[in-house]
């Protein structure tokens, strides 16, 4: 049987520090989506991405509580903005 090896990102999300950070962000935001005020299907999101700002990975100020619906809307907006960025000449899509 093949044993699954976790990536660095998977280990980060499964770790104690991440769970503690998540609970602290939920508490800070009163277990309420900061976008729409919902208290259903909540998740915690990094405001500044950990890939670009690893030093902020566990900073509570870099976290926000979102419901699933608002999280998806935010992701779609990010992807649309990424698609609309001007490309350098000579590159293909």
Q: DSSP for 16-36?
A: HHHHHHHHHHHHHTTTS-TTT
| pLDDT tens sequence across 32-81 | 999 999 999 999 999 998 888 889 999 999 999 999 999 999 888 877 77
Q: In terms of pTM, does the model score above 0.75?
A: no
Q: Up-side HSE of residue 40: CA atoms within 13 Å toward CB?
A: 1
| pLDDT tens sequence across 68-85 | 999 999 888 877 776 655
Contact indicator for 34, 57 with CB cutoff of 8 Å: no
């Amino acid at each position: 049987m093949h044993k699954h090896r976790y990536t660095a990102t998977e280990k980060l999300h499964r770790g104690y520090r991440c769970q503690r950070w998540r609970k602290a962000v939920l508490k800070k935001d009163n277990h309420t989506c900061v976008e729409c005020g919902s208290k259903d299907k909540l998740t915690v999101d990094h405001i500044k991405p950990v890939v670009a700002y690893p030093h902020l990975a566990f900073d509570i100020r870099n976290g926000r509580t979102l419901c699933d619906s608002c999280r998806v809307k935010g992701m779609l907006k990010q992807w649309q903005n990424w698609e609309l960025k001007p490309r350098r000449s000579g590159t293909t899509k």
